[in-house]
Amino acid sequence: MLFNSFIFLVFLPIVFILYWFVFNKHVKTQNLFIVCVSYLFYGWWDWRFLTLIAFTSFCSWLSGVLILNIRKGYPEDTPATRKQSRWIVGVNIILNLCILVYFKYANFFISNFIALFQNLGIDISSPTLSILLPVGISFYTFQALSYSIDVYKRKLEPTKDIIAFFAYVSFFPQLVAGPIERATHLLPQFYKSREFNYNEAVDGLRQMLWGFFKKVVVADNCALVANAVFANSDTAQPSALIIGAIMFTFQIYGDFSGYSDIAVGTAHLFNIKLMRNFNVPYFSRDIAEFWRRWHISLNTWFRDYLYIPLGGSRCGKWISVRNTMIIFVVSGLWHGANWTYVTWGIFHGLLFLPLLLLNRNRKHTNIVAQGKFFPSFIECLQMITTFILAMIGWILFRSENINQAWTYLNRMCSSDIIGNPQLSLLGLGNSITLGCFIFIILMLGIEWFQRERKHGLDLEWVQSSTIRRAIYGGITWIIFFFMGVQETFIYFQF
């Protein structure tokens, strides 16, 4: 079920009313209702994959119960309990990762295995498996794994409440594209009674409105231009390629951060708090800051469950370099079974390493121009440079293969870079491109003024309620005006 669909606009009010007025008597009843509507939400695409998410949830819940039984009577870990717990968690991790690898990477590994032997002059053939990738499998798998790992590390007490745990894994606002929540943050919210909070709900509606603007108005319109340019990258003018790269850069941001805003805002309607997943990443002053502000839930997941267990930055500079490159390569591969994603991860890793080696990767931890209206000239240069580097990375990310990415970058940097883009040859009118740039500027302007607040429409500081309503009404009108252009969310494929 898409957030930007008519069926969701019907689904959400019905769920909201039933949640607060019918199933509000007991927390277990509310949780069971959440599980049911979440499975309905997920099964709207393909009901067969409900067994997969149920199996993942059950295995992770069972691992916690088994560890709880092992630890009975042992307030602290003993070598015996630690060993048994490690085996249980290890089996659960391997089982879930095998499911993820099969559905997401089986064809990738098979095709590359065949290509390797063909390059050696050995002709082998193998049928490509017909595997349909379950929507959001990477997201809910990582969320389930975080529970098992945190239980093993004693950061969280195992739960016997299977309904609360299933609600934690399947909570529909963030089920298919994040944020990837931690059990330590989200699961305890399903243990306690929840009461309707008017202020939280209203703020949730504002954040949803801002998310819909970024998705429907910015991302979906930028997609029209980006798709046309990338589909014709071998013949498009260099200036058109630059425009296409800019459009995809804002398409993927508006699409993914828009989804996250809608998810966080929707959760507020049910008095459940999700973590912030984006924090104005295109105002970053270096790549390290960019990655602290982009897809925060995934990056902190890799930090806590992969980077630190590998040794983090505690074991010397070169071990830190190795661990950093592993994180970026794995992050690229997490996004999909294509060498373009791996190359994208390596590219960002190479950009990050100089900052790490010079101990400058933690230089910019505060918001840019904090407490000021305008940034300094140096900050402007830093933001522009970081944006251009990120945009180059997005060309790698968006390309179908390495050859297309290389051709795109080569042609984009030719001497005819300032020529007429001739977008009409790609079936694009000037009004479409101009409109995209106007909406991009509007989005960036709002986010700049609101960069120290929770989201773009957190306008409680505006004294006049009339002005606030006018802004909300204007954005609502723009969203409904562009509602006809409906694109699926990019990160559903991951």
Catalytic annotation, residues: 335
What does the alpha-carbon distance between residue 12 and residue 475 come to, in Å, rounded to a whole number? 20
* Helix ranges restricted to H, 295-429: 296-302, 317-335, 339-357, 377-398, 402-412
Distance of CA 73 to the CA centre of its chain: 41
C-beta neighbour count of 260 within 10 angstroms: 28
Give residues with Cβ within 8 angstroms of 321, minimum separation 6: 353, 356, 357
Could you tell me how many residues make up the chain?
A: 494
Task: Output the furthest CA–CA distance in the chain (Å, rounded).
Answer: 76
How far out from the chain centre does Cα 7 lie?
23
Joined tokens for residue 84: 């048994």
Residue linked to tokens 């009404």? 473
Task: Quote the Cα angle for 223-228-234, to 5°.
Answer: 135
Structure tokens, 340: 């373009």
Q: Name every residue whose Cβ is closer than 8 Å to that of residue 49 and which is 6 or more positions away in sequence.
A: 42, 43, 134, 135
* Measured CA angle at 473 (ends 469, 478), to 5 deg: 150
- Burial label for 197, CB within 10 Å (0-12, 13-18, 19+), is middle
Distance CA 194, CA 29 (A): 11
By three-state DSSP, how is residue 434 classified? helix
3 state SS of 192: coil
Cα-to-chain-centroid distance, residue 118: 37
For 130, phi then psi, to 5°, come to -90, 85
What is the rounded (10 degree) CA torsion for 91, 96, 102, 105?
-110
How many angstroms from the chain centroid is the CA of residue 61? 24
C-beta of residue 292 within 8 angstroms of C-beta of residue 361:
no
